[in-house]
Amino acid sequence: MTTDCPQTIGLVLAGGLATRMGGGDKALIEIGGRTILDRVLETLKPQCARILLNANGDPRRFARFGLPVIADDIPDFAGPLAGILAGLEWTAQHAPDAAWMV
């Protein structure tokens, strides 16, 4: 992937329970024939050297997107900050030269 931001890691937070929507994966909801995640990735790809997906549960449901899927290290769906922490920890280990995570 070519980008003008070689040191930027994109993190998509999709680790919640979607309780206000009756459960399920918000990222996989289709609008106009495309998932919400497809639309987010289309926007992020030109701006990020690498994109991560923070999601809990079975990561295989996101396999078709070809992204690293990282789960929260904090149990019991602690909220979006747990996803950000997981992204920061992954970046520190796998992309320590990254200057930014968005």
3-state secondary structure 35-99: EHHHHHHHHHHHHCCEEEEECCCCHHHHHHHCCCEECCCCCCCCCHHHHHHHHHHHHHHHCCCCC
Asked whether 94 and 1 are in contact (CB, 8 A), the reply is: no
CATH architecture of 8-101: Alpha-Beta Complex (3.90)
| C-beta separation of 11 from 37 below 8 A | no
Note the pTM of the prediction, 2 decimals: 0.84
Residues of the chain under the 70 pLDDT cut: 1-6, 16-19, 21-23
pLDDT tens, residue by residue, 11-27: 999 876 666 766 678 88
